[in-house]
Structure 1
Amino acid sequence: MSAENIETPCIGVCTMDDNTGFCLGCYRSLEEIQNWWDMSDEQRAQVMAQLDQRMQDNVQF
């Protein structure tokens, strides 16, 4: 399986949250964004598995 099988979660809203260190669009860290194209599918899947929780943790009412 090639690393191209899991697409980037980027939605083009590239703004880093100073409090969390995550992008407000895709909820990845700067390191995860920079390394995305070099990651294996397994590494990408690990990042993807964390994104929903990061988004929920960041929601402010």
Structure 2
Amino acid sequence: MSMNDKVRSPCVAVCALDENDMCIGCQRTGDEILYWTRMTNEERREVLRKVAEREKKVAL
């Protein structure tokens, strides 16, 4: 994938926000989901880094 390709959404079609405003499917916050289409690729990559960290915490 080239750096110019759009970073794809981590959505897994399990869309439900928990009491902390975190999607139980993709681990994004409500705001991250809301603004995803307006984010730059670098902003999206930062969200994906945060998602990876959240997934590690959930796995513990």
| Identity value in percent | 30
Aligned counterparts of 1:26 and 1:45: Cα–Cα separation in 2: 14
Unaligned runs of 5+ in 2: none
Aligned counterparts of 1:59 and 1:21: Cα–Cα separation in 2: 18
Which residue of structure 2 aligns with residue 16 of structure 1? 17
The one-letter amino acid of 1:52's match is A
Higher relative contact order (CA 8 A, sep 6+): 1
TM-score of the two chains, using structure 2 as the length reference: 0.83
Runs of 4+ in 1 over 2 A off after TM superposition: none
Displacement of 1:29 after TM fit? Answer: 0.4
